Amino acid sequence: MQVKNPTIKRTKLTFLERLYLPEILKGMAYTFVQMFRPKFTSEYPEVKWKPPGSFRGRPVLVEREDKTGERCVACGLCARACPPMAISLQANETDLPQERYPITFEINMLRCIYCGYCEEVCPEEAIVMSDEYDLNYTSRSEAILDKEKLLVPMERVKARLEFLREYKHAVRKADAQYVGEEAKP
Ligand code: SF4
Ligand code: SF4
C-alpha cells in the first residue's frame, strides 16, 4: 500500500519578513524598553529573598513558648503521613503535662520532597515548613537532621503559623458550607 506524504501548508512571508531586519529591530526595541521597567530579579546570594508565609521550605520542629523543649508529643502522625518516609522518631514518656516527647527525631533531607503533609497532619503545630530554602550538604550523614538541628523558636516560624491558621480556618469554613449544602432537602 502506498502511503501519501502529508502536505505541509507554509505561510508565505512578505518581503519585509524575508529581510528579517525589521523583526530583529523589533526585538532590540523590546529589550531596550525592558531596561527601564521594574526589576523582578535580585542579586542572589548577596541579596536574599524573604519568602512569604505560604512558602514551604525545610521542615523544622517548633520549640515550646516557655523554651522547655519541643512542642512535639511523639504521636508519629507525621512519620506515617510522609510519602518518602523521611521522618523517624522514638517516643518517650515525660512528667510534663504533654506526657510524651520524642527522645529522637530525625528528618532525612535527601528524601524530603517538601510536600508539607507532616505539617498538615500534626495536631500540635509542632512540625512546620520554615522559610529556609538555601540548603546544602557535603555528605549524606549531614543531610540527616536530628532534633537539635531541627528545633527552632516559635518566633522563627510565626509567619508560617499565621498562614496555616488562616488556611485551616478557610478549609473548615468551606467544609462546613459544603456539609450544609448537602444537608439541604
Ligand atoms: S515535607 Fe513531606 S517529604 Fe518532607 S518530611 Fe514532611 S511529609 Fe516528609
Ligand atoms: S505529628 Fe506533630 S506531634 Fe506528632 S510526632 Fe509529628 S511533629 Fe510530633
In a domain, 72, yes or no: yes
In a domain, 97, yes or no: yes
Name the residue with cell 519585509.
Answer: 16
Bond preceding residue 6 cis, omega within 30 of 0: no
Distance CA 167, CA 1 (A): 63
In a domain, 4, yes or no: no
What is the tens place of the pLDDT at every residue in 68-100? 899 999 999 999 999 999 999 999 999 988 899
Testing ligand 2's pocket by substitution, the residue of 62, 101, 122 carrying the most ligand atoms inside 8 A of its CB is 122
109 lines ligand 1 (CB under 6 A): no
- pLDDT, the chain, mean: 92
In a domain, 157, yes or no: yes
Q: What is the domain extent for residue 119?
A: 59-179
Whether the pTM exceeds 0.75: the reply is yes
35 phi and psi, to 5 degrees? -60, -25
Across the range 165-179, mean pLDDT stands at: 90
Q: Which residue has the higher pLDDT, 11 or 139?
A: 139
Give me Rg for the CA atoms of the chain: 27
CA–centroid distance for 69 within its chain: 25
Residue 1 has pLDDT above 80, yes or no: no
Quote the ligand 1 centre to 77 CA distance (angstroms): 12
Testing ligand 2's pocket by substitution, the residue of 82, 124, 145, 154 carrying the most ligand atoms inside 8 A of its CB is 124
103 phi and psi, to 5 degrees? -75, -35
Lowest-confidence region among 32-46, 100-114, 125-139: 32-46
Total domains in the fold of the chain = 1
In a domain, 30, yes or no: no
Atom index in ligand 2 nearest the CA of residue 79 equals 6
61 phi and psi, to 5 degrees? -95, 135
112 lines ligand 1 (CB under 6 A): yes
| Separation in Å, CA 34 to CA 20, 24, 58, 154 | 22, 16, 35, 42
- What is the DSSP secondary structure assignment for residue 51, as one 8-state letter? -
Contact of 105 with 146, CB cutoff 8 Å: yes
| CATH code of residue 134 | 3.30.70.3270
69 sits in the region (left: phi over 0; alpha: psi -120 to 50; else beta) called left
**Three-state SS for 111?**
coil
Distance CA 53, CA 61 (A): 16
In a domain, 68, yes or no: yes
Which amino acid is located at 30 in the chain? Y
Atom index in ligand 1 nearest the CA of residue 56 equals 1
Across the range 123-149, mean pLDDT stands at: 96
* Nearest ligand (C-alpha, residue 107): 1
Across the range 150-177, mean pLDDT stands at: 94
